Amino acid sequence: MDKVKNLLKNNIRRYGMGIALVFIMVLFQILTDGILLKPLNVTNLILQNSYILILAVGMLLVIITGNVDLSVGSVVAFVGAIAAKLMIEQNMSVVPVILISLLIGTLVGAWHGFWIAYVKIPAFIVTLSGQLLFRGLTLVILKGQTLAPYDKSYQVLSSGFIKDIFGGGTFHITTLVIGLVFSLIYVLVEMNDRRSKLKYGFDVMPMKFLVAKLAIIVIAINLLTYSFASYKGAPNVLVLLFFLVAIYSFIANKTVIGRYIYATGGNEKAARLSGIKTDKVLFWVYVNMGLLTGLAGIVFSGRLNAAMPRAGTGFELDAIAACYIGGASASGGIGTIIGAMIGGLVMGVLNNGMSILGIGIDWQQAIKGLVLLVAVAFDAYTKSKSQN
């Protein structure tokens, strides 16, 4: 019993926000008379928050190093503006535009990384400068006007859906199959992880608790895919998010560079003394942030179907909030990709649920601010309890 108690105590920070997300979803499902979890609204929820979730993946790694990036909203607008200029005014085809957009985002990340990692200017100052710089360049490029529309093929990633290769009628069968396959893969990965931990003598969750956890998550996955299948199928951007989460979770948890990132954020001086090139780590973390910001710019501008001077305003705050709500530590060294996704969904469900209820944007902002404060306070409390 003591072992189970300790296990729950040590993992409350890991699962607390997941439980909170479920509670919030159930609450708004009741308050909105079932509208929240209707297939159409679930699909819109993913589409409306996809670019914030993409930014949160990159921002999580930045925050783990103990830094922040305040420029991402402006860079999203900057990338969208350049894409619009190339596609709409220069008649450039979609593939080169996407590649150039990703390259520009990457170069912006390298620009920030250089000043932060090698010139040692604080990240707050560098990225605040970037926020002003790239917002200004966006205004220059667009001349203060909206530029639209993009080619329809440019919108496939942000607004399109996967094709049903099984030719289903009422339901999108391919989406249902994807849910079943993903469920199987998830169960196999969890069981393999348990065997590996037992092999090396680590504490593991009792089998009955693991089975209950797997059952809950598998049911949730298949309910979600069933909801998508009832509408148009899984959105393309959801598939993109799945691959991003899988790839970056693997990098963070299973690779040397992942350990270097956590070590740099946990104690940069100690990491440097142990032989880690922390300057290089910081530089590439910001390069990666730029790449993902470029991707978010493509997704957002495609969904908006226009390049606007004020596009992306506040995105940096939403991405940072998603990471903190998901359990990342402001002091660095702590955080998970899955946690950042959960934090982003908490914010997304709050926005969507309050909009359905007709709550004004003023109260929405106030409530989200309180949620962020409570989440960080909860994280600080559980961290202090785990250290006692």
302-330: pLDDT as tens digits: 999 999 999 999 999 999 999 998 888 88
Q: Residues 11-40: what's their mean pLDDT? A: 84
Q: How many CA atoms lie within 13 A of 96 on its CB side?
A: 7
The CATH class, in words, for 2-160+235-387 is mainly alpha
In the chain, where the domains are located: 2-160+235-387
CB 251 within 8 A of CB 243: no
The per-residue DSSP string of 352-365 comes to HHHHHTT--HHHHH
Task: Report pTM.
Answer: 0.92
As a whole number of angstroms, the distance between CA 15 and CA 50 comes to 22
Find the range with the poorest average confidence among 27-31, 54-58, 199-203, 296-300.
199-203
User: Looking up tokens 């609204």, which residue turns up?
Assistant: 41
As a whole number of angstroms, the distance between CA 84 and CA 89 comes to 7
**Inter-axis angle of helices 94-117 and 123-142, nearest 10:** 150
As a whole number of angstroms, the distance between CA 338 and CA 364 comes to 25
Beta strands in 104-250 (DSSP E): none
Task: Band the pLDDT of 165: cuts 50, 70, 90.
Answer: confident
DSSP state of 152: G
Peptide bond into 39 cis (omega under 30): no
Task: Band the pLDDT of 9: cuts 50, 70, 90.
Answer: low
CB 286 within 8 A of CB 109: yes
Find the range with the poorest average confidence among 191-200, 252-261, 351-360.
191-200
Q: Residues 5-17: what's their mean pLDDT? A: 63
Model pLDDT, residue 293? 97
Task: Band the pLDDT of 388: cuts 50, 70, 90.
Answer: low
Phi then psi dihedrals of residue 334, to 5 deg: -135, 135
CB 344 within 8 A of CB 52: yes
